[in-house]
Amino acid sequence: MNKLNNSDPVLLKNVKIEDNFWSEYQKLVKDVVIPYQWEALNDNISDADPSYAIRNFRIAAGEEQGDFGGMVFQDSDVAKWLEAVGYSLAINPDPVLEALADKTIDLIEKAQQPDGYLDTYFIIAAPEKRWTNLTECHELYCAGHMMEAAVAYYYGTGKRKLLDVMCRYADYIDTVFGTEPGKIKGYDGHQEVELALVKLYKATGNEKYLKLSKYFIDERGQEPYFFEQEWEKRGKISYWRPGIVPKPDESYHQAHKPVRKQSEAVGHAVREVYMCTGMADIAAETGDTELFEACRRLWDDIVNRQMYITGGIGSTNHGEAFSFDYDLPNDTVYAETCASIGLVFFAHRMLKIEAKGSYADAMERALYNTVVSGMAKDGRHFFYVNPLEVWPEASEKNPSRHHVKPVRQKWFGCACCPPNVARLLTSLGEYIYTSNENTVYTHLYIGSEAKVQLEDTDLQITQETDYPWKGNVKIKLSLEKEKEFKLALRIPGWCKKAEISVNDEAIDVSSKMADGYAIVLNKWQDGDCIELKLEMHVEFIQANPKVRADAGKVAIQRGPLVYCLEEVDNGSNLNSVSIDTSAGLEEEYDESLPGGAVAVRAKGIRIDEEGWSNKLYRPFEHKTKEVQLKAVPYYLWGNRTPGEMLVWIRHI
Amino acid sequence: MNKLNNSDPVLLKNVKIEDNFWSEYQKLVKDVVIPYQWEALNDNISDADPSYAIRNFRIAAGEEQGDFGGMVFQDSDVAKWLEAVGYSLAINPDPVLEALADKTIDLIEKAQQPDGYLDTYFIIAAPEKRWTNLTECHELYCAGHMMEAAVAYYYGTGKRKLLDVMCRYADYIDTVFGTEPGKIKGYDGHQEVELALVKLYKATGNEKYLKLSKYFIDERGQEPYFFEQEWEKRGKISYWRPGIVPKPDESYHQAHKPVRKQSEAVGHAVREVYMCTGMADIAAETGDTELFEACRRLWDDIVNRQMYITGGIGSTNHGEAFSFDYDLPNDTVYAETCASIGLVFFAHRMLKIEAKGSYADAMERALYNTVVSGMAKDGRHFFYVNPLEVWPEASEKNPSRHHVKPVRQKWFGCACCPPNVARLLTSLGEYIYTSNENTVYTHLYIGSEAKVQLEDTDLQITQETDYPWKGNVKIKLSLEKEKEFKLALRIPGWCKKAEISVNDEAIDVSSKMADGYAIVLNKWQDGDCIELKLEMHVEFIQANPKVRADAGKVAIQRGPLVYCLEEVDNGSNLNSVSIDTSAGLEEEYDESLPGGAVAVRAKGIRIDEEGWSNKLYRPFEHKTKEVQLKAVPYYLWGNRTPGEMLVWIRHI
């Protein structure tokens, strides 16, 4: 078994982000999101529905009497909070927060059943129904999230208690699932435990967890279909609806065929990318090239045929799902924040196997647009759906667009996205570099200091950058001793001209390019300074003509940032605007935008609304007037006066 | 009580259509649709789900044992069939068909309960639940359709049996509903009985039915809300779903406020226009100007802010409903065939009160586009939804567009549209003229012969026309004696120049125009010949800029016909095409189109799909190639090779 892994991320605790763009978000997570979520989990937010999440654990632990409350997967909210706390403690020790987390972990341990089982819904409400509805009831999903939390908390604090709890649970799960007689030959309805078990394996070295994860991956989609058998066995009833229900839609769960035979992203988008992340993990750890090829095909389908320019995925709210190739409607879009976060996970795993620009480009696209757009500048309001075209009146009055919210919402009952944003932003340090014994890959340009372990020496690598506003990056190396290794610097897909100098001496970039990375081999010395100039200018982007929704339209992009028009800058009825692609685009730094940002000025025309009175249709007259347009980064939309928003703009 | 009615339709049996365009459709209804529907009602179509409709009546009549089958409103299918048969017998006597209908009426009479009640679902399946769920269970709706059938059959054959049956039922209904103590102070969940009771009143002269209809209109939307009270009373359960359900959405049923206070079309589109038809009926018969003003407001909202260019209404499949002003998405549209038929009814009633071009223009628009598109040229396949943009793969794979079918469907389980098309097309003769003692209004140009009763003489009026292909109309008058009266000739809204000659002598049209009609007062003599030349040329139409979905696009229209692009003529990916509005449009008669039709040639450009390989986004390059485009009448779409279809085309 040869690992496919080519490089590994730098441990989070060894990366300190100090960045013009991201530090603010990390601070927001630490100071606002994590404390606010704690209050939410404890039902202390006066104007929100109670979460019940901590209370469920107290009831399961015998500390309180009562009924289970919230969603069947409510435990995962506690897990995601603990995971974010684990990351946060890794980069910002905080004894008060740690004590709170320790207390919570004590409670979780107390709720664990003698056999290792740990799911408060089934413990409290339906102990006899354990593992009878994998399709719908998220037991393995919750387990997976708590495993991720355990690993994060272990790395962040060195404390093993939750890790041990989750190992006991994983050991028990291993006795329940498998192909051996007496075991359930099944798998999870919402993929998550696969990638979590690999984390558990890597934290503990226990191969049982790796094998169990591989079992879940391999069993998925085999015939006869497990979900269908399970549905028949439980009398064709559903957790979610009364009465007899139709048999499960296998493709919604990506269980319509064995995963290694799959080539098209289908069904629930978060499930798909969580599954792909687990598949890539298994491929990397076990050397399973066939599985890796499936990952590559699915990646290709997602990124080259089913991804919005903002890095959003999932074209329909029906099942929060992929639809089909090139179907990317901008107004009825889903593009859930969690799905883009899952895409970041998937990209990150693929980068570990092979450093290719396609993975990092999509990761960057998702991060700087959909993911960061998911959270308001106050840290208390979130988008679940990330549309590319918003007409607030339609969101309110046309049910096909009810899911598209024109303003960020407070913490929801089904609070998947906010804690997902929190855990990703807090652990962002892990996504900047990967390394192996002779190469350090730089995937993201984020002001930071990192300690990287090379073959026989430690490297400290410092990035200074004005990214994403400017394409200049200064990288300084601190080394104990001279060391020959490769520094692989990502040249983003949007960049048409990149210059690199080493200690002020220019090097020929083109000769060093491999798959989107400039590979600079050198005998590096302490104090070496590498400067990168990525030409960053604003430009018009078009979509593949097969994308019907974007025909005749352009988007505006500058570096990694996609731009949009907002009503507050451009008036209402943005659809009546056409942008003049021959007139060029002007950039200007605009301090008045939240946090400050580069805005873009453009020229265009607007359909004249005069003289229409009460008519709906009339013979065509080409009456327009010239207008000045202002575009702002997509991630900022909805942070000022609410109104219309548009990414894809008609062009003349 | 002064009637508002200004003119009345000519009785159907006095109008004989002989027309290049419509005769074919009338023949199709007589020869195919009515016989095919009879087989469907009797469960004799081998590859379709059984209807159970006739069987339900047999069971209710005690002729057969068994359970109720089909939808709770299945009786209305029998009613619509009988209504179409009534119209058909009025224009085409057919003893075999009449015998079949008589036998069916005997069966219906036998199913009627001693107290007059007649609804097979409740008779068979839930006798104790009569009138307990008006909101959902369609009792008054089914009653209304059977009343319409009874009146049509009475006028068509002179036979009173079904009329008497339905008078007994109406008499009974009158004892059940009303504001008096002991009566249910409620109304129907699906409007229909209002307009039907007015028909019953006019056929029988019994004012009780008029009053009962007015009661339903006036009570609707009063507070406390009846549907909410009813829902509480029956324990908050639903006919359609198990468990406790939320309280009814009053606006879905147009019961959110008193109807005479309503100004915006909301909720289920068919319910809205059936209600408006009944409102206009009551206003006309009772001189209720306040109610008429509400009709005018609702008409204005529907036609000037919520109607597709094809005469389709209902912007969303969620509730088959209106959404809001200027929200007219082309791809997720509903535009149910039945709703456009209801719009024709509403227009027709408004024309009786005031002859205004707006009513007739919309009636013509709906008839020549959505209504006739609803039925395939084989009479066996039907569109329920009439989209303006079709991408077959999206219809299949994107659930938001599942309701949009790229090919006409066979008779459905819920078979509302096909029999609705049948009854409208068979009774089309009633829509051509209305008259009063001194004016004959010509609303539609359809080759026909009609006998019109004037004050003291009979007029025979003959139309010859190549409409909708040419704007020439020849009208000949046969009179017993010279008679002074006004001939009001509609000048369609699309017509920019109209010429009229009387016995080859031109008259000044502009001086005679009033509200879209040229009013020609004359002492008419036997043999007088009026010729009308309506300039008809193909043109580009634009939508009000507030219609976001049509921004930057044009439609093609020629006379009353809206055109579309089809894949079979223009290749796939119609969205990548832009039409050149400066290059003009050419007309050509194309015999190869089903039935023969005028096609339109245009020039345009198409986005070049070369060089994209596997990319989804790239910097904008304006690469296009010139293309020739062919547009065909919208009503014909989907009659050849299935594929994409587009009405609103991007323009350069």
Q: Domain spans of chain B?
A: 1-34+257-430, 51-239, 433-534, 538-651
pTM over 0.90: yes
The helix (H) or strand (E) run that includes residue A391 is: none
Is the predicted pLDDT of residue A1 greater than 80, yes or no? Answer: no
Average confidence (pLDDT) over A8-36: 95
Contact A541 B617 (CB under 8 A): yes
Partners of B577 in beta bridges: B606
Is the predicted pLDDT of residue A178 greater than 60, yes or no? Answer: yes
Looking at residue B413, what is its pLDDT?
Answer: 57
Is the predicted pLDDT of residue B455 greater than 90, yes or no? Answer: no
Which B residues 367-396 touch A at CB under 8 Å?
A: 391, 393-394
Exposed/middle/buried for residue B650 (C-beta within 10 Å: 0-12, 13-18, 19+): buried
pLDDT tens digit sequence for B77-133: 999 999 999 999 999 999 999 999 999 999 999 999 999 999 999 999 999 999 999
Using alpha carbons, list the distances in angstroms from residue A167 to A56, A170, A203: 21, 5, 10
The pLDDT confidence band at residue B49, using thresholds 50, 70 and 90, is confident
How many helices and strands, by DSSP H and E, does chain A display? 20, 26
The pLDDT confidence band at residue A409, using thresholds 50, 70 and 90, is confident
Query: Yes or no: is domain B433-534 CATH 1.10.8.60?
Result: no
Average confidence (pLDDT) over B606-627: 93
Give A539 to chain B, closest Cα distance, Å: 7
Q: Across all residues in chain A, what is the average pLDDT?
A: 96
Which B residues 44-103 touch A at CB under 8 Å?
A: none
pLDDT tens digit sequence for A355-402: 999 999 999 999 999 999 999 888 889 999 999 999 999 999 999 999
Contacts of residue A332 in chain B, CB cutoff 8 Å? 332, 400
Query: Locate tokens 């503990």: which residue?
Result: A204
Contact B543 A242 (CB under 8 A): no
User: Which amino acid is present at B187?
Assistant: Y
Can you read off the two tokens belonging to residue B342? 């209801």
Three-state SS for B150-178 is HHHHHHHHCCCHHHHHHHHHHHHHHHHEC
Give which of B333, B398, B538, B648 to mutate to test A binding, by max A Cβ within 10 Å. Answer: B398
Contact B542 A620 (CB under 8 A): yes
Does B619 contact A at CB distance below 8 Å? yes
Which B residues 185-214 touch A at CB under 8 Å?
A: none
Average confidence (pLDDT) over A416-433: 93
pLDDT tens digit sequence for A158-177: 999 999 999 999 999 999 99
Give which of B620, B621, B644, B649 to mutate to test A binding, by max A Cβ within 10 Å. Answer: B620
The pLDDT confidence band at residue B1, using thresholds 50, 70 and 90, is low
The pLDDT confidence band at residue A412, using thresholds 50, 70 and 90, is low
Cα Dmax for chain A: 79
pLDDT tens digit sequence for A579-637: 999 998 999 999 999 999 999 999 999 999 888 988 999 999 989 999 999 999 999 99
The pLDDT confidence band at residue B317, using thresholds 50, 70 and 90, is very high
Contact A615 B397 (CB under 8 A): no
Q: How far is CA A200 from the centre of its chain?
A: 20
Q: How far is CA A576 from the centre of its chain?
A: 33
Contact B542 A332 (CB under 8 A): no
Contact B400 A543 (CB under 8 A): no
The pLDDT confidence band at residue A419, using thresholds 50, 70 and 90, is confident
Which A residues 227-256 touch B at CB under 8 Å?
A: 242-243
Give which of A620, A622, A625, A634 to mutate to test B binding, by max B Cβ within 10 Å. Answer: A620
- Residues A353 and A350: their CA atoms lie apart, in Å, by 5
Which B residues 575-604 touch A at CB under 8 Å?
A: 575-576, 578, 581
Backbone angles phi, psi at A118, to 5 degrees: -155, 90
Query: Locate tokens 């090139």: which residue?
Result: A326
Burial string for A14-32 (b: 16+ CB within 10 Å, else e) reads bbbbebbbbeebbebbbee
What are the CB-based long-range contacts (under 8 Å, 24+) for A22-26? A22/A425, A22/A428, A22/A446, A22/A447, A23/A447, A24/A595, A25/A372, A25/A375, A25/A425, A26/A91, A26/A425, A26/A426, A26/A428
From the list B329, B399, B575, which residue is nearest A551 (CB)?
Answer: B575
The pLDDT confidence band at residue A46, using thresholds 50, 70 and 90, is confident
Partners of B232 in beta bridges: none
Is the predicted pLDDT of residue B414 greater than 80, yes or no? Answer: no
From the list B321, B551, B555, which residue is nearest A607 (CB)?
Answer: B551
Average confidence (pLDDT) over A467-477: 97
**Which of A150-154, B373-377, B470-474, B563-567 bottoms out in mean pLDDT, i.e. has the lowest?**
B373-377
Looking at residue A107, what is its pLDDT?
Answer: 98
Q: Which of B457, B404, B453 is nearest to B433 (CA)?
A: B453
What percent of chain B has a predicted confidence (pLDDT) above 70?
99
